[in-house]
C-alpha cells in the first residue's frame, strides 16, 4: 500500500508540472499576441472586415416567336459607394474626385448621400454603365475613391431600339414603396410597362450573394464565400419581328396604331403604336428634362394606342349592327331600304356620307358601300340595348384580357349606363349615331381587331395574347388560354357577313378597294370616325385644323376562305379609312401571307 501511495504522488506531481507548463505556454502566447504583436493585430482588425453583398440575378430574355432577341442583357460596370466607409477625411476626397474624374455633380452626390435611407452599409449607386475609360481610371486609382466599388452586372438592352417598344415596355429602378412591399433589393431594375411589367415575376430571377474581405476603405480584397444567383426565365412572344418592322415603317410620320392577330387563336403577330420611344433611354435612368418632354408631349409617345387609345369606331361598328339585325330577325339579307342621302328623324336629317344617296340598298350592298341610311333604319329597329348586347359578346365595352398592363376597356353605351352615369334617359336619335359607330362609343384598335376575328373565325371566342411560351433551362411552358368556346351566332349569318366583308374589298363599288391583293381574297371594313360634329348642311370643311379631322379606320382579314391574319389600322386625323388606312392593311396582309407561303 505504501508503494502505491508513493506512485500516486509522483503521478500527481507530474500532472501538475504538465498543467503548469501548459499555462506558461498560454501566457507566453497571450503575451506575444497582446504585447509583442498587439499593435499589428489591432491595425489588422481595424483594416479588415467581412461584408456580404447581394448579387443581382440576370433578367430573363425576351424573344419573338422565331427566337430572335427583343430584350437581352449586356455586360455593364456600375459604380457604388458604401456610406459607412466615408468618414470626415474620406468624404471630401471622394466628392472632389467624383466631380473631377467622372463628371458627377458634387451637390447631387451630396444630396443623394444625405437622403440615403437604406443604411450605412447598403451600397449606394453613383453611376451606371461606366465607360471603358472610366472603368480603367477608377481601378487604377482606387485610392482616389474611398468607400467605392465597381460591380459587373447585366444591363437591359433592346437591340432594335424603339421597335415594339410599347409592347415590350421598359425597366426602371425599384421604388421605395416596392422595397417595402416586395422582395426587392436597393437599385434593382423592375418592369415598368409592357411585357417587362406584366411578366416581372417570370423575368426577375432570384438574387445570390457574395461575402468579401474588405479593407478599411471598403475595397474588396478577397472573396470568401458566395451563392450564385438564379437567372430569370426567358420569354418567347407571339410577335413576328419582320411583320412588326413592316407595321412600324407604315406608321412613320403618322399618329396611329396597327394590330395584327391570328384570328384562329388570338396570337398577336404585330402591335405598333406611333409615335414611339426608345426603351434603352430608361435603363440608365432618364434625366428629368427628357422625361418631361416625353410625358408631356401632345403626341403621347408613351401611350400604347393599340390598347389605351380610345376612339369612335366609325362605320367599322356596322359589322356589329348587321350581325344584331340578322340574329334578332329584324332584317334579312335581301331586305332593302331607300337611301336618298339622308334620314329625317326627330326634326333633323341624319345624312349619309354619299350626298346623292345610294338608292334602294339591301344589307350586303349597305355593308359593301357603307350606306349610313341603311344602318340608321336598322339601328332604330334594334334599339340601343340590343346593339349593346351583341357588341359586348364580340368584345367591345370591356378589356379584352390581353396579357399587357394598363389596357383600357372603352365604352359601349346602353340606356342603363346613361341613366346611371349621366342621370339622363336615352334618346332614340342617339341610337342612330351609335348605329354608324359615333356618339358615346369608344373603342381601342385591339378591340376592333378582336371583334372582327370573332366574326370571321366562325364565331369562336378567342382571347388575344402576346405570350407564346416560357423557357427555363430545358423546360418549356406554353401559353394556355381558355378552352375554345363557340359564340351563340348562327353560322349562316356569320357566313353572310364574311361574304359581304369580302365585297367591301373585292366588289367594284366597295369602299375598301385599296386593300386588294392580286391572288389573295381579302375582306374588310372601312371606317371614318368623326372628331367634331358634322355641319347641319352636310358640307365638309376642308379648312378644319388637323386635330379636328376625322380618324381613318380599316379592319381586314385574309385569306377569306381560311383567315390566318386579322388587322386593325387606325390613322389619327387621317381622313377616310378607304384611302388612308386600307393601303396600310393591304401591306400588312401581303407581307405576312407571302412570307408564310414562301416558308411553306
Query: How many CA atoms within 13 Å lie on the side-chain side of 167?
Result: 33
Whole-angstrom distance, CA of residue 271 vs CA of residue 121: 45
Contacts of 479 (CB under 8 A, 6+ apart): 238, 465, 467, 468, 469
Of 511, 519, 520, 524, the residue nearest 575 (C-alpha): 511
Whether a cis peptide bond, with omega within 30° of 0, leads into 275 is yes
Told to judge if 315 belongs to the known catalytic residues of this protein, a careful annotator would answer yes
Which residues, listed in sequence order, are joined to residue 71 by a DSSP beta bridge?
Answer: 62
Whole-angstrom distance, CA of residue 270 vs CA of residue 414: 32
Environment class of 513 (CB within 10 Å of its CB; exposed 0-12, middle 13-18, buried 19+): middle
Tell me if 128 sits within 8 A of 284, measured CB to CB.
yes
Of 384, 417, 386, 412, the residue nearest 398 (C-alpha): 412
Catalogue the E-assigned strands of 436-481: 460-461, 467-472, 475-478
H helices of 48-175, where?
Answer: 90-102, 106-115, 132-140, 165-168
Strand pairing report for 551-558 and 565-571: antiparallel
Tell me if 243 sits within 8 A of 237, measured CB to CB.
no
Q: Which of 162, 274, 315, 433 is catalytic?
A: 315
472 φ, ψ (degrees, to nearest 5)? -130, 100
Whole-angstrom distance, CA of residue 188 vs CA of residue 118: 13
Whole-angstrom distance, CA of residue 453 vs CA of residue 494: 11
SS3 446: helix
All three cell numbers of 148: 467605392
Whole-angstrom distance, CA of residue 262 vs CA of residue 551: 25
SS3 437: coil
Tell me if 304 sits within 8 A of 273, measured CB to CB.
yes
Angle, CA 259 vertex, CA 200 and CA 487 arms, to 5°? 90
Whole-angstrom distance, CA of residue 557 vs CA of residue 499: 12
Whole-angstrom distance, CA of residue 276 vs CA of residue 452: 26
Tell me if 171 sits within 8 A of 189, measured CB to CB.
yes
Tell me if 565 sits within 8 A of 262, measured CB to CB.
yes
> What is the H or E stretch that residue 491 is in?
helix 491-506
Whole-angstrom distance, CA of residue 502 vs CA of residue 504: 5
Residues forming the active site? 315
Amino acid at each position: 500500500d505504501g508503494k502505491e501511495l508513493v506512485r500516486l504522488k509522483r503521478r500527481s506531481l507530474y500532472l501538475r508540472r504538465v498543467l503548469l507548463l501548459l499555462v506558461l505556454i498560454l501566457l507566453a502566447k497571450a503575451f506575444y499576441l497582446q504585447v509583442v504583436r498587439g499593435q499589428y493585430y489591432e491595425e489588422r482588425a481595424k483594416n479588415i472586415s467581412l461584408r456580404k453583398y447581394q448579387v443581382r440575378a440576370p433578367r430573363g430574355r425576351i424573344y419573338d416567336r422565331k427566337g430572335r432577341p427583343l430584350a437581352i442583357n449586356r455586360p455593364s460596370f456600375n459604380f457604388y459607394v458604401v456610406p459607412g466607409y466615408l468618414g470626415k477625411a474620406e468624404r471630401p476626397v471622394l466628392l472632389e474626385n467624383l466631380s473631377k474624374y467622372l463628371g458627377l455633380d458634387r451637390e447631387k452626390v451630396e444630396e443623394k448621400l444625405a437622403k440615403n435611407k437604406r443604411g450605412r452599409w447598403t451600397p449606394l449607386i453613383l453611376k451606371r454603365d461606366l465607360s471603358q475609360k472610366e472603368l480603367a481610371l477608377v481601378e487604377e486609382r482606387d485610392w482616389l475613391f474611398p468607400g467605392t466599388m465597381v460591380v459587373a452586372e447585366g444591363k437591359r438592352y433592346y437591340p432594335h431600339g424603339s421597335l415594339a417598344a410599347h409592347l415590350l415596355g421598359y425597366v426602371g429602378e425599384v421604388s421605395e414603396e416596392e422595397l417595402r412591399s416586395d422582395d426587392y433589393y436597393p437599385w434593382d431594375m423592375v418592369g415598368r410597362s409592357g411585357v417587362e411589367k406584366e411578366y416581372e415575376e417570370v423575368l426577375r430571377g432570384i438574387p445570390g450573394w457574395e461575402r468579401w474581405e474588405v479593407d478599411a476603405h471598403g475595397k474588396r480584397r478577397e472573396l470568401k464565400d458566395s451563392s450564385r444567383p438564379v437567372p430569370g426565365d426567358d420569354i418567347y412572344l407571339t410577335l413576328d419581328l419582320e411583320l412588326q418592322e413592316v407595321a412600324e415603317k407604315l406608321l412613320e410620320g403618322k399618329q396611329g396604331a396597327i394590330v395584327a392577330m391570328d384570328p384562329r387563336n388570338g396570337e398577336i403577330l404585330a402591335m405598333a403604336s406611333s409615335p414611339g420611344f426608345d426603351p434603352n433611354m430608361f435603363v440608365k435612368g432618364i434625366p428629368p428634362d427628357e422625361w418631361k418632354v416625353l410625358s408631356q408631349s401632345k403626341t403621347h409617345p408613351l401611350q400604347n394606342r393599340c390598347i389605351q387609345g380610345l376612339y369612335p369606331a366609325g362605320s367599322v361598328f356596322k359589322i356589329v349592327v348587321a350581325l344584331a339585325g340578322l340574329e334578332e330577325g329584324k332584317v334579312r339579307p335581301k331586305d332593302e331600304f331607300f337611301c336618298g342621302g339622308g334620314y329625317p328623324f326627330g326634326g333633323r336629317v341624319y345624312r349619309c356620307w354619299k350626298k346623292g344617296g345610294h338608292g334602294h340598298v339591301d344589307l350586303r350592298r349597305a355593308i359593301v358601300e357603307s350606306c349610313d341610311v341603311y344602318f340608321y333604319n336598322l339601328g332604330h329597329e334594334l334599339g340601343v340595348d340590343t346593339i349593346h348586347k351583341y357588341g359586348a359578346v364580340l368584345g367591345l365595352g370591356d378589356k379584352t384580357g390581353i396579357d399587357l398592363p394598363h389596357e383600357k376597356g372603352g365604352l359601349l353605351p346602353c340606356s342603363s349606363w346613361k341613366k346611371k352615369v349621366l342621370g339622363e334617359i336615352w334618346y332614340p336619335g342617339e341610337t342612330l349615331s351609335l348605329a354608324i359607330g359615333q356618339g358615346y362609343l369608344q373603342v381601342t384598335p385591339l378591340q376592333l381587331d378582336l371583334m372582327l376575328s370573332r366574326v370571321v373565325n366562325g364565331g369562336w371566342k378567342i382571347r388575344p395574347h402576346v405570350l407564346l411560351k416560357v423557357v427555363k433551362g430545358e423546360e418549356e411552358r406554353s401559353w394556355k388560354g381558355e378552352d375554345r368556346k363557340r359564340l351563340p351566332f348562327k353560322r349562316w349569318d356569320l357566313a353572310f357577313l364574311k361574304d359581304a366583308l369580302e365585297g367591301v374589298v373585292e366588289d367594284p363599288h366597295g369602299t375598301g378597294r385599296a386593300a386588294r391583293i392580286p391572288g389573295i381574297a381579302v375582306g374588310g371594313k372601312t371606317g371614318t370616325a368623326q372628331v367634331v360634329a358634322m355641319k347641319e348642311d352636310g358640307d365638309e370643311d376642308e379648312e378644319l385644323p388637323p386635330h379636328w379631322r376625322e380618324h381613318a379606320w380599316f379592319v381586314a382579314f385574309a385569306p377569306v376562305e381560311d383567315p390566318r391574319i386579322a388587322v386593325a389600322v387606325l390613322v389619327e386625323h387621317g381622313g377616310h379609312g378607304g384611302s388612308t388606312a386600307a393601303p396600310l392593311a393591304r401591306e400588312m396582309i401581303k407581307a405576312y401571307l407571302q412570307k408564310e407561303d414562301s416558308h411553306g
